Amino acid sequence: MYDSNISVELVYAFPRKCYHFYIALNNNYTTVKQLIEKSGILQLHKEINLCSNKVGIHGKLVELETLVKEGDRIEIYRSLFLSPMELRRQRIKNFAKRK
């Protein structure tokens, strides 16, 4: 008999805290968007907006309509407050002040 149950992980991370949700699904036809909605994370973190936040699976950007598979790690990405270039400039500036 074919077992259609799959397990996936949903991750939403902040600089000092990371939220992990381990979810068991009863079919192989669940999209990333459906998984996020079913997880309840949108009620816990009102700042998540699926129209603006990007999502990925194992570090690679995917569309919300992508089907999830056994063992997938779905990641919700936050918007950057500063660009990587600006962060480097600030670190260099702070390092120079300490000398």
Higher pLDDT, 2 or 83: 83
Query: Looking at the predicted structure, is the pLDDT value of residue 2 above 70?
Result: no
Residue 28 covered by a domain? yes
Residue 75 covered by a domain? yes
Instruction: Give the per-residue pLDDT at 3.
Output: 58
Q: What is the DSSP letter of 46?
A: T
Residue 1 covered by a domain? no
Global model pTM greater than 0.85? no
Amino acid at 64: L
Residue 83 covered by a domain? yes
* Exposure on the CB side of residue 89, measured as CA atoms within 13 A: 5
Range(s) of the domain holding residue 86: 6-98
pLDDT single digits (tens) 52-95: 899 999 999 999 999 999 999 999 998 766 677 887 888 888 88
Pairing of strands 6-13, 18-25: antiparallel
CATH number for the domain that contains residue 77: 3.10.20.30
Give residues with Cβ within 8 angstroms of 50, minimum separation 6.
Answer: 33, 36, 42, 64
Specify the number of domains making up the chain.
1
What average pLDDT does range 33-53 have in this prediction? 91
